[in-house]
């Protein structure tokens, strides 16, 4: 039995990419020995944001995690900013990370490209993520493909910290799903599906109503030719739909491709499968959203549990680097 941990950033509404690439696997992992899932609200401050919207998105993210199937009786669900140990360990790790290795993070390059203002927080973002993980002696970090490099950095930081200061931190590993590790935008199937895209036409949201899902899938960009075949290089649009349909029905894209010979039928089946998966989640979301006090109580309990573990790891790390016990 392992300890697992993963996080969801409340920078926008939860997407189908989040669900297929990450959330649904978290639900499967929550019966591990220990399972921690956090809304990484501090990470959301690294790019332009609006305080009122952030407040709403933090709650929405936590509700989506529960609606998708995370059960606070079986896992620890909490907000990153409730546990101050995260930022403190992040500082110790910032002094362990090198400027050069952070400069090589592809997500930093993507997110900073062409921006007028690039925060220092965006640059050190992966170190805060490393702290999120390393505070909990985590073995496995279930994430989508885009986070693999950050988990690799986390491993390097843990190994370096341990070699400098003694055996303090557990070295984790990423677990990336075989299918749907990188769901693409329906309008631009070479780009990752994301809530920060300029238009939501190619992004399906976890809370999109059925008719919106149907419309977005119907208008998805397909490729030249008419053949339904799983070939992400030559047929990125069709392959993305096959990936989504396969993930939604628990199969493999190559196998699904054999069942369809026309783009129209593939789209119809994809929309239907998505609606079947998302409708119960949305119903559960509405139930949970109706009782904000219950969510607060869950997050308070989660924060208590997280703090009790994080404080022990942080004390160990402080001591190892030569900081005195707190006066």
Residue 151 binds ligand AMP, judged by CB under 6 A: no
Residue 5 binds ligand TRP, judged by CB under 6 A: yes
- Of 45 and 221, the one with the shorter C-beta distance to ligand TRP is 45
Residue 182 binds ligand AMP, judged by CB under 6 A: yes
Closest residue by Cα to residue 318 from 161, 117, 147, 137 = 161
Partner touching 59 among ligand AMP, ligand TRP, none, CB below 5 to 8 Å by kind: none
Return d(Cα 192, Cα 147) in angstroms, integer: 12
Q: How far is CA 47 from the centre of its chain?
A: 16
Closest residue by Cα to residue 37 from 29, 46, 48 = 29
70-129 binders of ligand TRP (CB under 6 A): 129
Among 60, 85, 132, 208, interactor with ligand TRP by CB under 6 A: 132
Residue 202 binds ligand TRP, judged by CB under 6 A: no
Least distance CB 269 / ligand TRP (angstroms): 29
Closest residue by Cα to residue 246 from 234, 233, 232 = 232
Length reported for the chain: 327
The residue nearest ligand AMP at its CB is 21
- Of 7 and 202, the one with the shorter C-beta distance to ligand TRP is 7
* Strand-by-strand arrangement of the 3-8 sheet: 76-79, 34-39, 3-8, 140-142, 173-175
Return d(Cα 65, Cα 79) in angstroms, integer: 12
Among 61, 140, 147, 243, interactor with ligand TRP by CB under 6 A: 147
Q: How far is CA 313 from the centre of its chain?
A: 24
Q: Which two tokens stand for residue 281?
A: 């989640």
Segment lying near ligand AMP (by CB under 6 A), choices 119-127, 159-167, 179-187, 298-306:
179-187
DSSP string, 219-277: T----SSS-----TTT-HHHHHHHHHHHHHHTS-HHHHHTT-SSHHHHHHHHHHHHHHH
Q: Which two tokens stand for residue 137?
A: 């002696």
Site mask, ligand AMP, residues 189-228, x = CB under 6 A? ---xxx----------------------------------
Which residues, 6+ apart, have CB-to-CB distance to 210 below 8 Å? 275, 279
Segment lying near ligand AMP (by CB under 6 A), choices 51-59, 95-103, 175-183, 279-287:
175-183
7 secondary structure, DSSP code: E
Q: Are 295 and 78 in contact (CB under 8 A)?
A: no
Partner touching 29 among ligand TRP, ligand AMP, none, CB below 5 to 8 Å by kind: none
Least distance CB 249 / ligand AMP (angstroms): 17
Site mask, ligand TRP, residues 30-59, x = CB under 6 A? ----------x--x----------------
Q: Using CB under 6 A, list all residues that contact ligand AMP.
A: 8-9, 17-18, 21-22, 143-144, 146-147, 180-183, 192-194
**Site residues, ligand TRP (CB under 6 A):** 5-7, 9, 40, 43, 129, 132-133, 141, 143, 147, 150
């Amino acid at each position: 039995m392992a300890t697992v941990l993963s996080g969801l950033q409340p920078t926008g509404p939860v997407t189908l990419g989040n669900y297929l690439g990450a959330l649904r696997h978290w639900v499967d992992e929550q019966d591990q020995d220990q399972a921690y899932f956090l809304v990484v609200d501090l990470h959301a401050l690294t790019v332009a944001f609006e305080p009122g919207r952030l407040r709403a998105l933090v709650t929405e993210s936590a509700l989506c995690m529960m609606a998708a199937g995370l059960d606070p009786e079986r896992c620890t669900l909490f907000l990153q900013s409730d546990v101050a140990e995260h930022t403190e360990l992040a500082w110790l790790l910032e002094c362990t990370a090198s400027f050069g290795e952070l400069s090589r993070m592809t997500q930093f390059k993507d997110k900073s490209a062409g921006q007028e203002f690039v925060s220092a927080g965006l640059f050190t973002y992966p170190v805060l993520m490393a702290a999120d993980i390393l505070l909990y002696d985590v073995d496995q970090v279930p994430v989508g493909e885009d986070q693999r490099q950050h988990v690799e950095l986390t491993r390097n930081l843990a190994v370096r910290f341990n070699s400098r200061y003694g055996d303090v931190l557990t070295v984790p590993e990423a677990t990336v799903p075989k299918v749907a590790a990188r769901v693409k935008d329906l309008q631009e199937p070479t780009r990752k599906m994301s809530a920060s895209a300029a238009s939501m036409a190619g992004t399906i949201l976890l809370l999109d109503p059925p008719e919106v899902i149907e419309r977005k899938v119907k208008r998805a960009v397909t490729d030249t030719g008419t053949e339904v075949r799983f070939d992400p290089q030559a047929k990125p649009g069709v392959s993305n739909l096959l990936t989504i349909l396969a993930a939604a029905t628990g199969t493999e894209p190559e196998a699904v491709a054999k069942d369809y010979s026309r783009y129209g039928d593939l789209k119809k089946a994809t929309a239907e499968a998505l609606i079947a998966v998302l409708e119960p989640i949305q119903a559960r979301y509405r139930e949970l959203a109706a009782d904000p006090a219950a969510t607060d109580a869950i997050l308070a309990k989660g924060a208590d549990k997280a703090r009790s573990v994080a404080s022990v790891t942080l004390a160990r790390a402080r001591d190892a680097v030569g900081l005195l016990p707190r006066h």
